[in-house]
Amino acid sequence: MAADTDWRLQGQERYLKGAVVVYRKYRRPSESWDHDHCEFCLSKFTEESSDPNVQTEGYATRDDDRWICSKCFTDFKERFALITCDTTDDGG
Ligand SMILES: [Zn+2]
């Protein structure tokens, strides 16, 4: 559990509270946009990397807008009441 004063907390409650997330490989959203950052620690996500500090998979919100690394997910899932979903199916 992270403390209230954790540096990674920047008001994400506004858009991440109760979010449904899926653990999967990172996929770039477009040809001109090849990476994202963890919503909390700003760790970088790319499709391929040999750098251990760069994430190639993690927890994504179902609309794919936002990424959360495994460490931050563990630290914040209870605080944010994050819901994990096993499927990337958008139907329904
Ligand atoms: Zn993170």
Q: What is the pLDDT of residues 24-59, one digit of tens each?
A: 999 998 999 999 999 999 999 999 999 999 999 999
Q: Find the 71 Cα to ligand 1 centroid distance in Å.
A: 6
Buried/exposed 66-90: b ≥16 CB within 10 Å, e otherwise: bbbbeebbebbbebbebeeeeeeee
| pTM, 2 dp | 0.88
CA of residue 29 to ligand 1 center, whole Å? 19
CA 48 to centroid of ligand 1, rounded, Å? 18
- Supply the pLDDT for residue 62: 87
User: Band of the pLDDT at 64, cuts 50, 70, 90?
Assistant: low
CA atoms within 13 A on the CB side of 14: 5
